[in-house]
Amino acid sequence: MREMLKSLYQENVLRAIDYQFCQFISVQEQSACGDFIAGWAALVSYELGKGHVCVDIASLDTQSVFDLPSAQSALFSSVMKPESATAMLHKADTVSDGSLPTPLVLQGTRLYLNRYWQAEQTVADQIRRRCQPVEVSNACKPLLDELFTPDIRLLKKLFTNWSPDQRAVKIRDFFDISPDAHTNIDQLIEAVETDQNAETVLALVNQSDCLNWQKVAAATALSYRFSVISGGPGTGKTTTVAKLLAALVASSDPASYPEIKLVAPTGKAANRLTESIGRAVEALPVSNEVKNNIPVQASTIHRLLGAIPNRVEFRHHKGNRLHLDILVVDEASMVDLPLMARLLAALPDHARVLLLGDRDQLASVEAGAVLGDICHAADGRYSPVRAGLLSTMTGYQLEETETATAVSDAVCLLTKSYRFHADSGVGQLAGAINKGSIPLVRKALAKGYQDIELHELNNDTYLRAVSLATSGYQNYLSLMTSDSCDAKAMLSAFADIRVLCALKEGPFGVSGLNQAIEDSLAGKGLLSPGDELFYPGRPVMITQNDHGLGLYNGDIGIVIEHEDALRVVFEMADGTVRYLLPSRLPEHQTAFAMTVHKSQGSEFAHTLLIMPPTPSPVMSRELVYTGVTRAKERLDIFTTRFSLERAVNSKTQRFSGLSELLAG
């Protein structure tokens, strides 16, 4: 076994850390099965590198151990013997059930590294303890009614743009009226058309016919200490949270308003949350006193916990809790298992926790799929007691199920998109991808939507992609060279278009496309890179957190001439701009193109999604869905139809035991 593992390491199948860990285990293991245990240790470490929290021996595909071809895989399987592995692992000195401080932990048929088993246990324990109802103030129901009353002024503005044959469908959509409802739609249309007042129009809507899931989501979070609001782009998660926080503040004692913190996993996501929550709070129909007690400044999770430079520990932990009453975590799908464990462990016992995110997006780069595991059993139905409470708070009749758990009672799924409507190709394609339906994907691409196009990837279309990117990036470069360069406007213009890649390397990856776009812009005289690493106009993306500078993984800046020297300008979380010498930057890379993973938490008016013409293991349904939903107005996909459909059919499964722990 040792020679086989050494061979895999020499062939770059195993990483150095995988090989060193199995060597460590073989030295520590005193039993007669040391080589056998070392093989499983190498596999656990290898799978961790792919995002799996554990190896489920019972579900192990013996035809692709270490992702090897079936013949090589079968050789390893014959030595590692999955059919008898559990019994042998129980006898090992380096394996326990978690009650002893061993490097490996075996729970049932799942084999973990101890650290990740501990993290999973912490997350499950923290969530289970917080999945309990809290007393709801009598003022909450009228507050929810007021906050979620449809804006009739907006309806009247929209109404004038609707054709007569659209109005019935649009009116139902606006009020969230079910198609089989008893509300007289013709009367509603007539009332809006004749400019009746808001009270008259609203009186015509039978509330029992409606079901606004945003209102249900707010009620869910108001009445539970732990809650999750999951939905795709444009489903109104931020708007819902702003109204929820308004209800919490307005129903609190003015002498002791709750301490609220907003966080996101990256600086870029925190900046975006700051912008969106600020707009949402400003539009709330509440007093200035309530607005002033709702925070609009978000930070990163690392900053909230108090990251210590060059150390893995944080200032806040189980022994030194955070000082807050309500925590909102945006883009929760990007939070890996160990970080979620540290965050939850650092919270005071009384704190409410709200996770926001899209359960269908790519999971975190590091191990775990915490949001997906939490939402695993959620289907929009609640236990009878929970459904009754939420119905009382919202006025809606909700579906019940006896199989709902305490955790699924904490989850609300938003499905109605306010950005992508029936005439949106991006929305239709995203929905088809999410369902894993190839016929629906084909239908969306063939229908002739004006905002999406699939380009069969070949030499000509590759050049077309580079040309589109070159044209799109001209705007920020023209702003950079203007006499009065507005740094914010320039950074905003750069964000109007982005090239997203499935791969990091090669002509279809980030490195190849960055070079191709840079060469194209230089060929048009828009850039002058020369032999210099830093030149005016070069966009850079931070790839390593620097808490001292306030720069985080994913932050983007642009090199410009400032005060007779080259500086890199960034927009910070508080909306200010900061100019830094290139020599001060932490690790970074050119950012004309970025991976789909790095784009999470961002949106671009025009998105170019480029995937290789032949399938790759990294291409999955979640990756395609995430890339597609970054587009706000226009999406161009460059790949082959075969490669796209293979990716849509490939749903990622990350092995962990969190869903099972939460269901117990």
C-alpha–C-alpha distance, residues 633 and 58, integer Å:
45
Q: What is the DSSP letter of 57?
A: G
- What pLDDT is recorded for position 310? 75
Give the model's pLDDT for residue 419. 73
The length of the chain in residues reads: 664
Q: Quick one: average pLDDT of 484-494?
A: 88
Joined together, the tokens standing for residue 284 give: 């709330």
Whether 213-252+261-414 and 425-649 share one fold: the answer is yes
Average pLDDT, the chain: 90
Q: State yes or no: 234 annotated in a binding site.
A: yes
The answer, yes or no, to whether residue 30 has pLDDT greater than 90, is no
pLDDT tens readout for residues 338-347: 999 999 999 9
The predicted model gives 413-428 an average pLDDT of 81
Distances (CA, A) of 42 to 59, 87, 104, 113: 17, 18, 11, 11
| 600 contacts: CB under 8 Å, gap ≥ 6 | 269, 331, 333, 334, 361, 362, 626
Residue whose C-alpha is closest to residue 322's, from 399, 263, 396, 405: 263
Q: Residue 388, annotated ligand binder?
A: no
- Residue spans of alpha helices (H) in 297-455: 301-305, 337-345, 370-374, 384-394, 425-435, 438-446
Res. 377 pLDDT band, cuts 50 70 90: confident
Whose structure tokens read 């249900």?
216
Q: How confident is the model at residue 29 (pLDDT cuts 50, 70, 90)?
A: confident
231 known ligand binder: yes
**Cβ–Cβ under 8 Å, residues 28 and 93:** yes
**pTM > 0.85:** yes
Residue 89 has pLDDT above 80, yes or no: yes
In whole angstroms, give the CA distance from residue 5 to residue 23: 9
How far apart CA 216 and CA 210 sit, in angstroms, is: 11
Q: Which residues contact 586 (CB under 8 A, 6 or more apart)?
A: 542, 543, 544, 545, 546, 549, 551
- Greatest mean pLDDT range, 114-128, 137-151, 242-256: 114-128
Q: Is 415 annotated as a binding residue?
A: no
List, edge to edge, every strand of the sheet that includes 352-357: 299-300, 260-264, 326-329, 352-357, 226-231, 411-414
49 marked as binding residue: no
The torsion defined by the Cα of 325, 330, 335 and 341, in degrees rounded to 10, comes to 10
Average pLDDT over residues 284-292: 91
| Alpha helix stretches (DSSP H) within 93-210 | 114-130, 140-147, 152-159, 167-175, 185-193, 198-203
pLDDT digits (tens, 9 = 90+) for 529-572: 877 889 999 999 998 878 778 788 888 999 998 888 899 999 88
pLDDT class of 277 with cuts at 50, 70, 90: very high
| Whether pLDDT at 620 is above 80 | yes
Q: Where are the domains of the chain?
A: 1-108, 151-204, 213-252+261-414, 425-649
Nearest to 535 by CA among 523, 546, 545, 522: 522
pLDDT digits (tens, 9 = 90+) for 101-111: 999 999 999 99
Banded model confidence at residue 422, pLDDT cuts 50, 70, 90 = low
Helix (H/G/I), strand (E/B), else coil: 146 = helix
pLDDT at 171 over 70: yes
What's the CATH number of domain 425-649, 3.40.50.800, 3.40.50.720, 3.40.710.10, 3.40.50.300? 3.40.50.300
pLDDT at 506 over 80: yes
403 is in an annotated binding site: no
Angle subtended by helix axes 384-394 and 213-222, to nearest 10: 110
What is the C-alpha separation between 344 and 324, in angstroms, rounded? 12
Confidence category of residue 483, pLDDT binned at 50, 70, 90: confident
Q: Which CATH number fits domain 1-108: 3.40.50.360, 1.10.3720.10, 1.10.10.1020, 3.30.360.10?
A: 1.10.10.1020
Number of H helices, E strands in the chain: 28, 20
Known binding residue 237? Answer is: yes
How large is the average pLDDT for residues 248-267? 89
**C-alpha torsion sign, points 611, 496, 422, 381:** positive
E strands, 3-133, are 54-56, 95-96, 104-107, 110-113
Taking the CA atoms of residue 573, residue 578, residue 581 and residue 584 in that order, the dihedral angle to the nearest 10 degrees is: -30
3-state secondary structure string across 433-476: HHHCCHHHHHHHHHCCCCCEEEEECCHHHHHHHHHHHHHHHHHH
Q: Is 183 annotated as a binding residue?
A: no
Q: Which CATH class is domain 213-252+261-414?
A: alpha beta
